[in-house]
């Protein structure tokens, strides 16, 4: 199992730089795009996970569910995104991709609901690239110019989680130390017959912090389950570096008949702290046979966050609601297609920031499936399509594709108790 997982991981890591042409322009605000859940199994249900236990997946949204799987498991995956950005300057297609975490789950004792998980997860992602042409008036008349803005980086986390059952209630806790960098660049070039000038501004953040989560899950009546979590965080510490460069080349000087170059450089460093969000989530699920339906509702507060403040954007509250359905694969499948598991979902998100006074909404639908590779190993795939933005101005059509490989074995067998 370990050798197979290592091979899969190396293949995925070798692909991390294949798609770096840009992503969502809205990832330039705040902490970027928050990566809520990990794994195509849950992405296929629009991320519905708070009260949706899975024997083949690792649930990091609600740590109380970690102790419900009988398998010790290793899981990794890859996430690809396609954004069709529409704005005042027209449309642009942008792509981005990243490894979707590497996790291990140890099912220590299912009779006690004791499970332990650790790994590395993405927390937020920044990937955008924009370019526009303009004409400005200079000493030589009209001059053509171009302005390019692009960003990269994000925040990663080390995930540590555990769960335990107390009188029929599963309780869980997790901690995620955070680390990462965010880089924002703004390049401007103006050219005329006799002059060429450029101005570049780069802002870089190096960050450390931690976020924590408490979760619970129980069956309130036959086939009806409820789950909840509360996420809070320590202060995010950051080092900020701002670098400015300006360059001018005069191709022809009427006084000495020779061209000349001018170059300036400025760099400034500072440090600070920022609050991280607090989030509360509640979920319900109902199971009948191999079919399970779930509902998640989440509310988060980002209002005290001060990192990467932008004049055209303000941070505030986040709201998320999703509904998902899962058709589990048959244990003893009579036909080939009964071996497959199927999923679907609908989701709505009110983003944690506004842009030029407009609230940013996101609505999407998802489908997914999984195919077993043995008794406890699966390949999961999910596809999401949706819309993000206000009805006018800057908006995006989004397509996401995720694939996850999950390999499990029974390492710990329950022992007899008096």
For the chain, which domains are there? 2-181+212-234+276-409 (2.40.160.60)
- What is the C-alpha separation between 198 and 185, in angstroms, rounded? 13
160 three-class SS: strand
Please state, in angstroms and rounded to a whole number, the distance separating the CA atoms of residues 228 and 33.
23
pLDDT tens string, the chain, 418 residues long: the values are 333 333 333 333 333 333 334 578 888 899 999 998 778 999 999 999 999 998 888 999 999 999 888 888 999 999 999 888 876 666 778 888 888 899 999 988 888 889 999 999 999 999 888 888 877 776 666 778 888 888 999 999 999 999 999 998 999 999 999 999 999 999 998 877 667 788 999 999 999 999 999 999 999 998 999 999 999 999 999 999 999 999 887 765 544 555 567 788 899 999 999 999 999 999 999 999 889 999 999 999 999 999 998 888 899 999 999 999 999 877 666 676 777 889 999 999 999 999 888 899 999 999 999 888 766 788 999 999 999 988 667 789 999 999 999 887 755 555 444 4
- Whose structure tokens read 């980086």? 153
Evaluate whether 63 touches 388 at the Cβ level (below 8 Å).
no
In a 13 Å sphere around the CA of 113, the CA atoms on its Cβ side amount to 18
Alpha carbons within 13 A on the beta-carbon side of 80? 13
């Amino acid at each position: 199992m370990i050798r197979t997982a290592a091979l899969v991981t190396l293949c995925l890591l070798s692909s991390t730089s294949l798609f770096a042409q840009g992503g969502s322009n809205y990832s330039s605000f705040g902490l970027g795009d928050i990566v809520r859940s990990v794994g195509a199994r849950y992405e296929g249900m629009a991320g519905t996970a708070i009260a949706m236990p899975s024997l083949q997946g690792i649930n990091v949204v609600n740590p109380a569910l970690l102790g419900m799987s009988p398998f010790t498991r290793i899981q990794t995956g890859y996430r690809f995104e396609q954004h069709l950005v529409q704005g005042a300057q027209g449309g642009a297609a942008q792509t981005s991709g990243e490894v979707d975490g590497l996790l291990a789950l140890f099912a220590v004792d299912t009779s006690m609901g004791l499970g332990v998980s650790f790994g590395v997860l993405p927390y937020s992602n920044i990937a955008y690239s924009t370019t526009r042409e303009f004409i400005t008036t200079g000493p030589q008349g009209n001059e053509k110019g171009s302005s390019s803005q692009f960003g990269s980086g994000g925040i990663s986390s080390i995930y540590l989680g555990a769960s335990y059952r107390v009188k029929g209630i599963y309780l869980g806790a997790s901690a995620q130390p955070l680390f990462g960098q965010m880089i924002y660049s703004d390049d401007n070039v103006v050219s005329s017959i006799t002059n060429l000038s450029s101005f570049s501004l780069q802002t870089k953040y190096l960050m450390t912090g931690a976020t924590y989560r408490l979760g619970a899950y129980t069956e309130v009546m036959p086939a009806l389950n409820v789950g909840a979590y509360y996420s809070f965080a320590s202060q995010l510490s950051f080092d900020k570096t701002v670098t400015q460069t300006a360059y001018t080349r005069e191709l022809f000087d009427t006084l000495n008949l020779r061209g000349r170059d001018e170059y300036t450089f400025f760099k400034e460093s500072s440090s600070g702290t920022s609050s991280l969000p607090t989030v509360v989530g509640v979920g319900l699920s109902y199971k009948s046979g191999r079919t399970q339906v779930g509902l998640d509702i989440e509310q988060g507060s980002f209002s005290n966050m001060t990192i990467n403040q932008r004049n055209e954007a303000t941070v505030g509250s986040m709201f998320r609601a999703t509904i998902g359905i899962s058709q589990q694969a048959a244990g003893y499948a009579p036909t080939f297609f009964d071996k497959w598991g199927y999923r679907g979902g609908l989701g709505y998100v009110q983003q944690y920031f506004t842009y030029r006074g407009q609230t940013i909404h996101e609505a999407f639908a998802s489908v997914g499936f999984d195919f077993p590779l043995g008794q406890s190993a699966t390949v999961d795939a999910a596809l999401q399509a949706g819309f993000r933005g206000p009805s006018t101005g800057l908006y995006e059509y989004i397509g996401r594709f995720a694939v996850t490989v999950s390999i499990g074995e029974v390492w710990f067998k329950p022992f007899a108790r008096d």
